[in-house]
Structure 1
Amino acid sequence: MRIVSYNSRGLRLGNGAGDRARRIVVDKLLEDVDILCLQETMLPKQNLDRLNSFHCNFFGAGESTTDLSSGIIQGRIPGGVAILWHKDYDPFISVVRLNVDWCIAVKIVMHGKVFMILNIYMPYESQQNEDEYLAKLGFLSSFISQCEFNCVFIVGDMNADISDTRSTFGQHLIQFCVNNNLVLTSKERLPADSHTYVSEAWHSTSWLDHCICTEDAHECISRVEILYSLATTDHIPVSLVVNCESLPVLLQHQSPSHTEKLTWAKVSVEDIRKYYLLSDCSLRSVNVHKETLQCRDVNCEHMEHRLHLCTLYQNIVDSLIIASEFLCQKGATKFKPLPGWSEHAYALHAESRAAYKAWAAAGKPKSGSILESKKAANVKFKNAVRYIKRNEQTMRANSLANKLKNNDVSEFWKELKRSCISKQLLPASINGVSGDKNIVEAWRNHFSRIFNCVNSERFNLGNINYNHGMIVRADEVRLAIEKMSLNKACGPDQLSAEHMKYASCRAQVLLSLCFTGFLKHGILPDHMLSVLLVPIVKEKTGKISCIDNYRPIAMASVLSKVFEHILLERLQNFITTTENQFGFKGKLSTDLCIYALKETVSKYMRHNTSVFMCFLDASKAFDRVNHQKLFIKLQNRGVPSYLVRILHFWYSHQLMQVKWGTEVSEPFSVSNGVRQGGILSPVLFNLYLDELSVTLNASKTGCLVGDRLVNHLIYADDLVLMSPYSAGLQQLLRACAKYGEQFDILFNPKKSVVMIAATKGDLKLNFPSFNLTNQVLEVVSKVKYLGHILRSDLCDDEDIKRQCGKLYMQANTLARNFGMCSDPVKVSLFRSFCTPLYTAHLWCNYSKVVMKKLQVAYQDAFRILMKLPRWTSASHMFVTSNIPTFHALLRLFMYKFICRLSLSANAVVRALSSLSYSDTRYSSVLFKHWNNCLYGL
């Protein structure tokens, strides 16, 4: 398929000699093209229908900026876009209207391949157009992130000269591609000296017309060229040839019709009471073997006892499932009412059914009053259904508004979440393997290699002594159940958290007996240890058929999570970690970790000292945890032997399966790694890394804050090292490499980077190279750390630009999905999705111009969502909607963060923020900025 993009500078639709002469390039292109994307068509809305009759072999669709019926039009019509496609492709093409006048798209579904072509025309480069340009990039980001399929081609006149490093729009376009993991195909496939525009006034050249693709789309392009031979006007056509055979095939997998689904959110209060009574009745019949439960031999190996405990566990699970069977409905036969059904169609449906039954009871007469009554009732019902379908969006919006008005916040967010769920499309092949059974086997082999890649020696605990902690009380089970999150997917045992929450209290008593028996005998049933892995895509714009573009979601049994909560309470006092670890700890978060890093570096730079930082990447750190070494660490911490024994049994007997579509693989064993998403996994991983933190603290090299050494910070598996000396950083790197080799942590030198926060006097110095496992690390000037863009000069402009793009994307996403909602609903959505400006309170070193752009983006985001014109007063619209203005929002973030600092018990944070520990706060640029913003000091 050949696709050509061309800025026509006015498309003449007539058949006169003058019109044909003006469109000579377009006519030439139509001789040898399948899809032609035109920009600046300059057509009014009244002429767009003529695109279908423009050429005998082509159909077309377009968007216009001008409606002739709106008034007298002066001058030429600006902008406009159109797509023309060959009639041979018409059965496969559907036009996608994006409700904007600068972009139009076509969706092509052909032989199981699905892809989309977007034709865009962006504003020309000027300072007054920059905000509009960023807003349109945000629109594209939003559209791509919500696209159901992953092959997208974006072509058109983007007015971004990527050949000129001084081009602001060119830099914006390149950053847009980086942020969205897109490929700027025109830059990748064409020479650096290419151009698509020749200025008629200055005879200078620019590279303004481009092609941007997702990775899969990029791989399918066999040739890209600029048609210089057709350069009769200022713009030059760009052609690309797509090999459609190489496009990935996407399949929609549906659950079999016989599967039963239980949606607890739709269960009535009466049904929950009935479930409680049924579960109580069912659990009464569970047989409890007193001899097994009263056994006090903690080294008991009686097989009958083990069988009794596993049977007790399975009987509890079966009893709860049986008690909930009446709540289940067949997935295929379940009726999903449309919004507005109760108000507009429910009564009419009942009337229609009653009229039909009366007509059937009368012998189905061919005439008469009974037949007429049936017809009339049927017509009323069908009209009501048509009305509901025509106004579905409005009624859904009204439903959300009513829930918000009635202060039913929980139901409001549930319905909002349901409205955003899209059907999952899976590729027909993964790494060249096709067929669901073959693919699921490939996934099984892939994950089996990952979870069995570390050589681990056999762990022998020996006999243990009795401990009162083995006794699990019913109230412990109740508290563990209360901590469970609701509305989550069922595990392999088909139980959900709601099964436990709404069940009879008898379940808590039986589970306490069961868990006590497990701890005494050091065993767990196979069904409790089963884990289901579901691969999900990491990057929608990446290669959908590449196995490395997926990460697994682990689905464990609900009762195993309850048991994990109980074990966690017993482990808490034994698994404390150093103050350098910020991950998975109460009252600590990513922004506090970023604050600690920036403040430490800033302190040294104020004292005219450079700081060397290394951001280490640990490849699959959670998956490479050595079980035997983990258990030894637990023993060294003084963890009771019965807890080490149960964890050892758990990890050594755990089985995993992979689900792909409707296929489930055979189970495989696991010999290394802690399951991501598990209740215990984060704290066990923190413990596994803690000895490295202790080693680094003992190295006596790094940054000093007061009398505290701060040479590293850890958030989960994200590790950053810092030292005011190059030799000091290399010493820390050697310590990490040694620990990684000893404990099977694979630090990746290709993804690990060094950043030097150099003072003005040190900028021209040639610093030594830094090595990790005998490989030289790359030195960068900026890095994305925990979602925050950090520059070597501590300037916050890049991070503010990141937030600016995110705001535009969020606003466009909300406007597209909830544009029909009432104003109160939109205000609530804006407050939830657009006001949380991540790490905004940590910005203090920025240019006023960049911050002003973010303020404009914040205001424009609200205007986009509320469909207000750009000249609407910002202060007025925020005050009337009870939304904080931009600067008021920043002050609120600052105040809340200062309060968190004052309450933090973390030693690193206290050393930086408390006057009782150091004088850093006195000279802190960030604190001075906060005081100036909050108090005018």
Structure 2
Amino acid sequence: MDDHTRCYDTNDPLDSFKLPKGRGGVSVLWPSQWSSRIKKLKDGNERIIAILITATKDICLINAYMPTHNSDSLSEYTECLDIIFDIIQKYENTHRIVLAGDLNGTLQTSRTNKHDKMLRNFTKNMNLTTGVELINTHTFFHHAGNSSSQIDYILVQDENLVMDYKIEERSCANTSAHTIVKMEIASQMTNIRKSNQQNKKAKYKMQWEQIDKKGYNSIIQNSITSIETEKDVNIQLDMLVEAMTKAGKKTIPTKLLQTKGPKWKASPEVLIILNACREIYKKWQSVGKTKDHVLAIELKKEKKKLRSKLRAEQAVDRQKLYQQIIDNPNTQLFYRLINRGRNNNRTTTNCLKINGEYMFLPEEQRKGFAQYYEDLSIPKEEQYDCNYLNLCKVRQSCIQEALQECTDIPELFSESEIEKAIDCLNTKKSPDEYGLTAEHLKNAKETITPALKSIFNNILLYRKVPTSFKSGILTPVLKKDKDSTELGNYRGITVTPVTGKTFEYSFLTKLNLESKTDLQFGFTKGLSPIMASLIISEARYEEKKGSENFFINILDVKSAFDVVQHYILMDKMIDQDIHPVYWKILTELYNDLTSKVKWLDGISTPFNIKQGVRQGGILSTHLYKVFVQDLLVELEENALGYHLGNIYAGTPTCADDIAFISNNENELQIMLNVLSRYANEHHYTIHPMKTQIIDCSKTKSNFKWNLGGNEINIAESGVHLGIIRAEKNECQVNIQERIQIARRTKYALMGSGVHGTNGLDPPTSYSIYKTYVVPRLIYGLEVLPMTKANIEQLEKFHRKNLRHIQSLPERTSNAAVLLLIGALPIEAEIHKRCLSLLLSLLNCGNDKIHQILTRQVTTNFDNNKSFFTRIRKILEMYGLPSITQLQNNIPKKEHWKNSIKTKVDKFWNEKILADAENKSSLAFLNTSNLEPNKPHHVWNIKTIPRFELRKAIIKARVMTGTYILQVDKHKFTHYNVEATCQLCYSGNEDVTHFLTTCPILSTTREKYFSEIRETITHEITAENWNNVFKNKAAISQLIVDCTKYKEVLNNSNKLLNVIENKTRNLIFQLHMDRLKILEKKNE
């Protein structure tokens, strides 16, 4: 039999004296002849393992032993569910999922402890089932007969996979407290290795850093000499696109990203070695393939050389990516990093449900998507009130007639406006349907700007928009936690031509759109969505002081961006005080729109778009804000909604994320009536089932709210702008959610080496963790009034991750965990976000925000749950200017950022160092040299082999007092175990004895220590050596943490690095020799 086994102490080996009860581990066993078709996965932890089985139906089998239910098991149980979630997410699109094990929670509704509720919710969200009707047969029986329950399961996502499911009867031969659970699966082992590379096309990526920029611009310049004399914008644009495409092919090298078939891409150097291997093999084959032949030996050497070269190239590629992330972190690099650890065969869904039937062929799926989005784009006028629409049509018809006689020429585009528009384009994005990206324009900005100016101005002069601007490639993107087989669960994101995006950026400045309400946030410089969340929090916790009601209504607009009525939108644009010609161009932009669906490396036939503002377009969000703002204005003019003092704050909104807040149930119903009428007039639908009202009142209301005749769901919680709004325990609910999101982000990064042993070096791992995990952990928490207990939950999660990154045991001092890696507590990170938000509030040009700020600072100073009371205390804590002082003299963003960093870092560094000074376990850790964002010298292993990480981990444990020696066992067992060294029995085994005294280790010690002594005496003389290192305590300090003697060593970082390497080797070798001797004694 073969197996995949993981024990409780796999990652953190424990001596037998401290083995925890009931945590042996998990194991999957199979016949040895199956091993070639089974792959062990690194995913999971000491409680969860997984394997992939190649069969007629490929299977991902997850084995779990979930934590036993007790008072403090909830956090660990949640963590295990998140690990299972991550494994399922990785492999569910390519494998059938099977989850088996002791889940320590029941799916039976008769029991309702916290584990049970979480497990039932998890299996529901993941579509996991036994595949048969559950019977209440118990699988666990307490050894003392106190209780029994059903907690052992085998669960699948595909019910058709289950042929039989059986819970065995109890047997006297079974000494376990659990009975046997069996499932027979409809799949057979196969020797055929599948490949889903068959229909793939070769993909190339342009290497923009290697562009011949001079040649690129020269070719374009020569190709567009006559473009400014041409008056037809379509011909002009075709000339420019063709010129950039032609120049790109000739002057920009390409890199192969994906081959056509199941081949792997190889560098030119690897190809040379690979061809040499093939030639040697042919020669060896021609002489009979004798194992002892000289060619066989030569082939073996050449293959070794090939593998070595491949590993070296992969290592260089990895290091480049990590350095890019550290130097310039962004979302694209984050997903690239995650995908390195994902299943290589991961694709989009295997099938789609179209008109009640499952479609597996890519062509049918593309056609299904195209039909779905085409139908979505057709106005359903018969479902709504058309009076307002008809008025819009009449009004626009009159304006169109008047425009025919209008000869007024608006302000034309300047070259500087076009250059600014080009600068706004995002790089490293997918090419448009003409193969162009932002880089094509940015690398020829000076060359093409006059041509673009001519095209854009001709658009204004002749009132004609190029046909290509109206076309786009739509990519369906699955919404979060939705069923991947349902078409309606995909959001259509459109990639428009890059030249069209440039025009829209330039045109946006001409339109100069200004919001009519100060309660619209997002997609405007200086107005982030978090400001809308802040308004809701201030309103809610204002009411908490009194006994008034408080209601939050979170609205869900069905397919918001896809159902915007073009006639109504253009009618609203008439009232935006823009030039009539600009309005005409805007109508042309949205007339005769077409899209194509991109899906599984193919593109559908084009279809017409008759309504909606395309998600992904530059103007889309701005136009949608215009489309919806009259609703917000109407509510505010009629004073419908919550007032913070005398300041209206009833409708904090970001694009289609609208919330109504009110302290009067009848008022909220009137707001809903206004919304229902407005939505009916404007031809869009508010989803009655997804729209929620959260009653945050102390005394709950019995009022039944309705929207268009449909009763609205009264929910315990709902999500608005990424923050959960809950009727009670709002902070706690959000913290649990943030921890879960951060944990899943962390697990997604695990496959890329962001973990302890055998992964990346801890400083690199921490940099990635700080860049991608910490922001997700604390998002939105700056607007919530968290207690010390709330913050401590975050701190525990944070410290646990830092321990994991550094492979430090749980008993490591909190101060050491932070100091060694140069990290700050989570509270400090939240404070930095609070202070950054304060500057954003002071700098924004939003009158509503300034009114609320002034009001809260002057009249609400006694409300500890107000952001402004909390920020006042934070400013005092760090010795920063008061809010009033900052209002009178608003600092520059960069200056404020530097001030925050300096003050916060200094405060927490002093606090952590003071804590470290009181820890006896840190006697050998030199804290005088440690500061935030500066890892300890022990982790200076970035450029050396990965094996050195294991050595550094052992040394870090010695440094932090967590390396278990006999004196530690003596203390941990309440003096039941002797403290005497088990190697020499000549004294108590503490760090000094282990490193400098034990005679059994003297040979190894002298071999390595003589090199250290020789290196140091060469720099500081033997006399100084004898003066400084005159006792074993000083020598132990040198070996454990040589930075203590930095001044003695002439402040030479080079010398410190050399000594660090040598002492690391000494400690590791002593550790290995000690283990070997102890193992022999125990045999």
Superposed CA deviations along residues 392-441 of structure 1, whole A, max 9, x for unmatched, are 76555544566689x68799879747746855523453212342322222
Relative to 1, partners in 2 of residues 1:537 and 1:613: Cα closer, same or farther, differing over 3 Å? closer
Specify the code of the residue in structure 2 equivalent to 1:548: G
Deviation of residue 169 (structure 1)? 3.5
- Corresponding position: 1:911 with 2:851: yes
Counterpart amino acid of 1:429?
A: C
Of 736, 740, 751, the residue aligned with 1:801 is 736
1:774 lines up with 2:715 in the alignment: no
- The whole-number CA distance in structure 2 between the counterparts of 1:253 and 1:477 is 43
Larger deviation, residues 818-827 vs 725-734: 818-827
Q: Following superposition of structure 1 onto structure 2, how do residues 364-763 of structure 1 map, counting pairs within 5 Å?
A: 382-389=303-310, 394-400=315-321, 416=337, 419=340, 424-431=346-353, 432-455=358-381, 460=397, 461-464=400-403, 465-503=406-444, 505-539=446-480, 542-572=482-512, 574-759=513-698, 762-763=699-700
Q: Contact 1:706–1:918 (CA<8 Å) still a contact in 2?
A: no
Distance 1:678 1:197, change over 3 A: same
Query: How far apart in 1 are the matches of 2:118 and 2:363?
Result: 44
One-letter amino acid of the counterpart of residue 505, structure 2: H
Distance 1:522 1:714, change over 3 A: same
Q: Report matched runs for 1:247-286 at 5 Å.
A: 252=196, 257=201, 261-265=204-208, 267-269=209-211, 271-284=212-225, 286=226
Root-mean-square deviation over aligned CA pairs: 4.1
Deviations 1:435-480 (A, max 9, x none): 2322222211111000113437665322423455352222222111
1:858 aligned partner = 798
Contact 2:27 2:63 in 1 (8 A): yes
Alignment-mate amino acid for residue 655 of structure 1: T
In the alignment, what sits opposite 1:103?
48
Q: Distance in 1 between matches of 2:532 and 2:770?
A: 26
Task: Return the match for 2:238 from 314, 320, 326.
Answer: 314
Deviation at 1:674, TM superposition (A): 0.2
- Aligned residue in 1 for 2:782: 841
Instruction: Kindly indicate whether structure 1 or structure 2 has the higher relative contact order, using CA contacts under 8 Å at least 6 residues apart.
Output: 1
How far apart are 1:741 and its partner, in Å? Answer: 0.2
Give 1:555's aligned amino acid: V
635 and 77 in structure 1: CA distance in 2 versus 1, 3 angstrom threshold: closer
1:401, 1:666 → 2: CA distance? 40
Identity across the alignment (%): 19
**1:578 deviation in Å?**
0.8
State whether residues 716 and 727 of structure 2, in contact with CA within 8 Å, keep that contact through their aligned partners in structure 1. Answer: yes
Match of 1:817 in 2: 752
2:766 matched to which residue of 1? Answer: 827
Aligned equivalent of 2:946: none
- Which AA in structure 2 matches 1:94? K
Q: Give the aligned residue type for 1:383.
A: K
3-state DSSP of counterpart to 2:473: strand
Q: CA–CA distance in 2 between the matches of 1:614 and 1:414?
A: 34
From 174, 184, 190, the equivalent of 2:134 is 190
Cα gap change, 1:515 to 1:725, in 2 (>3 Å): same
Decide whether the 8 Å contact of 1:826 with 1:865 is kept in 2.
yes
Pair 565,542 (structure 1): closer, same or farther in 2 beyond 3 Å: closer
* Aligned residue type for 1:451: S
Q: Which amino acid aligns with 2:735?
A: I
Match of 1:159 among 77, 100, 104: 104
What secondary structure, in the 3-state scheme, does the structure 1 residue paired with 2:241 have?
A: helix
- Displacement of 1:676 after TM fit? 0.6
Higher mean C-alpha displacement, 469-478 vs 792-801: 469-478
Return the offset for 1:827.
2.0
CA distance in 2, matches of 1:86, 1:648: 69
Specify the alignment match of 1:143 in structure 2.
87
TM score, norm. by length of structure 1: 0.79
**In 2, Cα distance between the equivalents of 1:408 and 1:783?**
35
- Structure 1, unpaired ranges of 5+: 1-50, 53-59, 293-307, 367-371
**Cα pair distance change 1:512/1:373, threshold 3 Å:** farther
Aligned to 1:124: 68
How far the C-alpha of 1:518 sits from its partner, in A, is: 1.2
Gapped regions of structure 2 (runs ≥ 5) = 189-193, 288-292, 382-388, 879-1083
1:664 Cα deviation from its structure 2 partner: 2.0
Q: Which moved more, 1:820-829 or 1:74-83?
A: 74-83
Q: TM-score, normalised on structure 2?
A: 0.69
Question: CA separation of 1:924/1:138 partners in 2, compared to 1, >3 Å: closer, same or farther?
Answer: same
Q: Decide which moves more: 591-600 or 581-590.
A: 581-590
1:130-188 Cα offsets, whole Å, 9 max, x none, are 5443443333333334447264332211223565776343445456567xx32453699
TM-superposition CA deviations, 1:518-545 (whole Å, max 9, x none): 1222212222321111223335x65333
Judged with a 3 Å threshold, the aligned counterparts in structure 2 of structure 1 residues 887 and 443 are, in CA distance, closer, same or farther, namely: closer
- Seen in structure 2, the aligned counterparts of structure 1 residues 829 and 91 have a Cα distance that, compared at 3 Å, is closer
Matched residues in 2 for 1:212 and 1:453: separation?
44
Pick closer, same or farther for the CA change 1:211–1:929 going to 2, 3 Å: farther
How far apart, CA to CA, are the structure 1 residues paired with 2:333 and 2:345? 21
Distance 1:791 1:453 in 2: 36
Alpha-carbon distance in 2 for matches of 1:227, 1:850: 45
* Bigger mean CA offset, 394-403 vs 496-505: 394-403
What SS class does the counterpart of residue 833 from structure 1 fall into?
Answer: helix
Q: Residues 629 and 828 (structure 1 numbering): CA distance in 2 closer, same or farther, change over 3 Å?
A: same
Aligned match of 1:234: 177
- Kept after mapping to 1: 8 A contact 2:495/2:617: no
Q: Does residue 1:783 correspond to 2:718, yes or no?
A: yes
Residue of structure 2 in register with 1:875 after alignment: 815
Q: Give the CA deviation at 1:287.
A: 4.3
Q: Which amino acid aligns with 2:845?
A: A
3-state secondary structure, aligned to 1:523? coil
State whether residues 207 and 253 of structure 2, in contact with CA within 8 Å, keep that contact through their aligned partners in structure 1. no
Residues 803 and 436 of structure 1: CA distance in aligned 2, closer, same or farther (over 3 Å)? closer
Q: SS of the residue aligned with 1:658?
A: strand
Query: What are the Cα deviations for residues 828-868 of structure 1, in whole angstroms up to 9, with x where unaligned?
Result: 1021012221112223255x555433211111112223333
Deviations 1:592-618 (A, max 9, x none): 211111211221231210112221111
Q: Within 2, Cα distance between the matches of 1:558 and 1:81?
A: 53
Q: Deviations 1:690-728 (Å, cap 9, x if unpaired)?
A: 111111112323222132222222111111112211111
**Which of these residues, 882, 888, 898, is aligned with residue 838 of structure 2?**
898
Q: Which moved more, 1:575-584 or 1:770-779?
A: 575-584
Q: What secondary structure does 1:817 align onto?
A: coil
Correspondence for 2:1033: none
* TM-aligned CA distance change 1:412 to 1:553, over 3 Å: closer
Structure with the larger strand share: 1
Report if the CA contact (8 A) 1:758-1:793 is conserved.
no
Structure 2 counterpart of 1:204: 147
| 8 A Cα contact 2:479 2:489, kept in partner | yes
Contact 1:814–1:865 (Cα < 8 Å) also in 2: no
**Cα separation, 2, equivalents of 1:686 and 1:349:** 55
